Amino acid sequence: MACTTILVGKNASYDGSTIIARNEDSQQGEFTSKKFVVVKPEDQPRHYRSVISHVEIDLPDDPLQYTAVPDAVNKQGIWGEAGVNEANVAMSATETLTTNERVIGADPFVELTPARGKEGEDGYEPEIPGGIGEEDLLTIVLPYIRSAREGVERLGALLEEYGTYEMNGIAFSDVNEIWWLETVGGHHWIAKRVPDDAYVTMPNQLGIDEFDIDDALGDQEEHMCSADLREFIDDNHLDLAVEPVSPLNPRDMFGSHSDRDHVYNTPRAWYMQRFLNPYDEVWDGPDAAHRPDSDDIPWARQPERKITIEDVKYVLSSHYQGTPYDPYGTLGDESTRGSLRPIGINRQSQLAVMQIRPYRPESCRSIQWIAYGSNAFNTLVPFYANVDVTPAYFADTTDHVDSGNFYWANRIIAALADAHFAATSSLIDRYREKTGGLGHRMLAAADEQVVRLDTNPVDLDDLADEEEAVDDVRDADAIIAAVRNPEVRGILAAANQTLSDQVKTETDALLSDVLYTASMNMRNDFHLSDN
């Protein structure tokens, strides 16, 4: 599953929020319709069975409510992908990663082995289930964690017990921290805390480029890993450093540097960092410090200015604008345009941006921004996560093409606009700007309603000790109690619905405009008047 991730630390974001965001892209030649839902505790399975690997897991009996963006049709399982739970902890799962033959040989993936023969007959061999993967992870982790760190701990334990059949990167965030976990082979994993003043770019490659294994196996202040990682590295000769160095470079040990990476993966990190740090270094020409095919583009970097939600949307929608590689551009030539894999690609399923805001009450703190379809032609819509129901326009997607829901409306707009990019781009820009303004306005209005109800709000500005503030904010039981206020949930659900109705009106209008523009440019037009 091909995806692109960006993580923004709280001191790098425009408002002090932690932000984790990821495009979920369908596999080549496929489109996967998505829906945005709330999973209530009574609907959460207590015994889980994976469709793909047939692994079976008994789950705890005390799940939290959470949001998710599952497949509209569960032919291949749930694929919950992204959400926020009642403890105001967010999870994005997963970014598919690359690895190398040495890692796979040392710790093979745990793949489903089908049964052989028929039960009761000679020679029958029962099936052996595989491990866990992207299909499963949100469902078996997010409802049971009360901090980002707990997310790493729970998923790490599950990986060690059940294994995995694929390489993945998973993000966890709460109001204070973001953690990034990468699987390494079938049972091993590493995790690193995202620096508060930095952002991280992840384009389908194993990304962490500095790792303090002493911290991971000791105090675990900024790093965590599977318990036998040091022996795993040493016994299998995975450290490629010419001389002993600290910190280690997991990207060299566990990742890949293939020719395919240089057209499929590294260009995406190059473009995101080129946009967010345009003046820190030379990005183009023979003197460029990093090029689209560079293997040493940093995992984390401090931005030149604070990063906004609109910046996140832009980089996760980009197709190399302003470079010779833009398939819609006029720079370069046919040998460069479209030669690199875009970030905003045609087979995008959904984009989820989870923003956890430290300056709002716990009950309205978490926002899940949603976009469906190809990001080059869609808009990003904010919704409160602390609700009991999501708007039907975003939740009732099926596999039937229907412009009456947000997913298929965006698919149709993109298919029409792609062939008429220059003629429709201004329409899409205006639509994106207007709906974005509606979203920010809705948040401000609903926040104000909730604040008026909140008799004991946490005011970080009034607390002298920032660490005391963080401890207060992360009292999980108090958070859950505040979040379960039914009056607040009603206000937030109503605000979500109002915005959904407004977005539908604007999306219907854009579809009409794009259809008209495309129709007027059909090749069977004839310019002799019928009058």
What's the CA gap between 502 and 438, in Å, rounded? 8
Nearest to 367 by CA among 1, 81, 83: 83
pLDDT score recorded for residue 460:
43
Backbone φ, ψ for residue 116 (5° rounding): -120, 135
CB under 8 A, 24+ apart: contacts of 484-492: 484/86, 485/363, 485/453, 487/453, 488/363, 488/364, 488/386, 488/450, 488/453, 489/363, 489/386, 489/387, 489/388, 491/446, 491/449, 491/450, 491/453, 492/363, 492/364, 492/384, 492/386, 492/387, 492/446, 492/450
Q: Which residues, in sequence order, are bridge partners of residue 56?
A: 49
Nearest to 472 by CA among 460, 481, 454, 455: 460
What's the CA gap between 45 and 57, in Å, rounded? 10
pLDDT of 506 strictly over 60: yes
What's the CA gap between 100 and 60, in Å, rounded? 35
What's the CA gap between 220 and 218, in Å, rounded? 6
Lowest mean pLDDT, pick from 143-157, 163-177, 443-457: 443-457
pLDDT of 434 strictly over 50: yes
pLDDT score recorded for residue 523:
87
The answer to whether 423 and 522 have CB atoms below 8 angstroms apart is no
Task: Place 474 in a pLDDT band, splitting at 50, 70 and 90.
Answer: low
pLDDT of 259 strictly over 50: yes
Write out pLDDT tens, residues 306-349. Answer: 999 999 999 999 999 999 999 999 999 999 999 999 999 999 99
DSSP 135-181: TTHHHHHGGG-SSHHHHHHHHHHHHHHH-BSS-EEEEEE-SS-EEEE
Q: Which of 210-219, 461-470, 515-524 has the highest mean pLDDT?
A: 210-219
User: What is the pLDDT of the chain when averaged over all its residues?
Assistant: 94
Q: Would you call 437 helix, strand, or coil by DSSP?
A: helix
Query: Is 3 annotated in the active site?
Result: yes
Quote the distance between the C-alpha of residue 223 and its chain's center.
Answer: 21
226-261 in b/e form (b: 16+ CB < 10 A) is: beebbebbeeeebeeeeeeeebbbbbbbbbbbeeeb
Average pLDDT (156-179) is: 98
pLDDT of 457 strictly over 90: no
Lowest mean pLDDT, pick from 83-92, 264-273, 377-386, 522-531: 522-531
What's the CA gap between 62 and 83, in Å, rounded? 18
Q: Would you call 513 helix, strand, or coil by DSSP?
A: helix
What's the CA gap between 214 and 229, in Å, rounded? 11
pLDDT of 228 strictly over 50: yes
Average pLDDT (82-94) is: 98
Nearest to 80 by CA among 388, 352, 402, 401: 352
Write out pLDDT tens, residues 11-56. Answer: 999 999 999 999 999 988 889 999 999 999 999 999 999 999 999 9
Task: Place 526 in a pLDDT band, splitting at 50, 70 and 90.
Answer: confident
pLDDT score recorded for residue 464:
37
Q: Which domains does the chain have, with CATH numbers?
A: 2-117+126-435 (3.60.60.10)
pLDDT of 469 strictly over 70: no
pLDDT of 437 strictly over 70: yes
Q: Where are the alpha helices (DSSP H) in 181-255?
A: 213-216, 229-235, 250-254
Is-cis flag, bond preceding 94, omega within 30?
yes
Catalytic pick among 3, 20, 371, 503: 3
**Strands of 82-84's sheet in order across:** 82-84, 90-96, 168-173, 178-184, 188-193, 223-225
pLDDT score recorded for residue 531:
63
Task: Place 159 in a pLDDT band, splitting at 50, 70 and 90.
Answer: very high
